[in-house]
Amino acid sequence: MGSGAIATKRLNLLRHAKSSWDDPVERDFDRPLNGRGHRAARRMGEWLKEQQLQFDSVIASPALRIRQTIEGVESGLGRKLSPVFDKRIYMASAASLFDILRETPDSVETLLLIGHNPGLEDLLLLATEEDVSALRAEAEIKYPTATFATIELDVESWAAAEEHMPGRLTAFVRPRDLDSTLGPDD
């Protein structure tokens, strides 16, 4: 790792913000964000803007709470993310998310995947199994709502993305890390 001989792909993960369990909805798919979720999404967007992060591609679940998370992030970011919505991400397992990653064109260097737990958390843990950093240990405890993570993958092609690869977690930012009123975690 890190010899410079292998190209690096950057996988960014964003879990949807806190959803409301108070609104009676017929389908889980239609559950909206609550007030804290809206605030956390906007704050995460502001942080992404501060970090000057750019994404070559954004793929997201079409669930309402994801769409509302994206709206909040875009509001804080001050620009559109222009995601491609993929219904396979809705409640997907890590294995299904790896399938989606492997379909990503190699022209994409930096990907943002916006989805749900437990799939996102499982994907992060499987893609960084060899990472012994304090950041990874923190992620192993819990992947809260509206949390943003970055994984550096030493692969030249997304087609090589698989479980048990030597990915490095380089960012794990929870809303409460940016604003204490956005905790405690759910």
SS3 46: helix
pLDDT of residue 4: 46
Residue 55 has pLDDT above 90, yes or no: yes
pLDDT of residue 185: 53
**Average pLDDT for 122-146:** 95
Order of strands across the sheet that contains 168-173: 84-85, 57-60, 110-115, 9-15, 148-153, 168-173
**Average pLDDT for 19-39:** 88
Confidence of residue 21 (pLDDT cuts 50, 70, 90): confident
Binding residues for substrate: 65
Q: Which two tokens stand for residue 167?
A: 């990915």
Q: Which two tokens stand for residue 102?
A: 């492997």
Q: Which two tokens stand for residue 134?
A: 């304090």
Within 10 angstroms of residue 18's Cβ, the number of other Cβ atoms is 24
pLDDT of residue 3: 43
> Considering only the top CATH level, what class is 11-181?
alpha beta
How is the chain split into domains, by residue range?
11-181
DSSP 153: E
Confidence of residue 105 (pLDDT cuts 50, 70, 90): very high
> What DSSP string runs through 21-59?
SSS--SSGGGPPB-HHHHHHHHHHHHHHHHTT---SEEE
Binding residues: 65
Residue 135: Cβ-neighbour burial (10 angstroms; 0-12, 13-18, 19+): middle
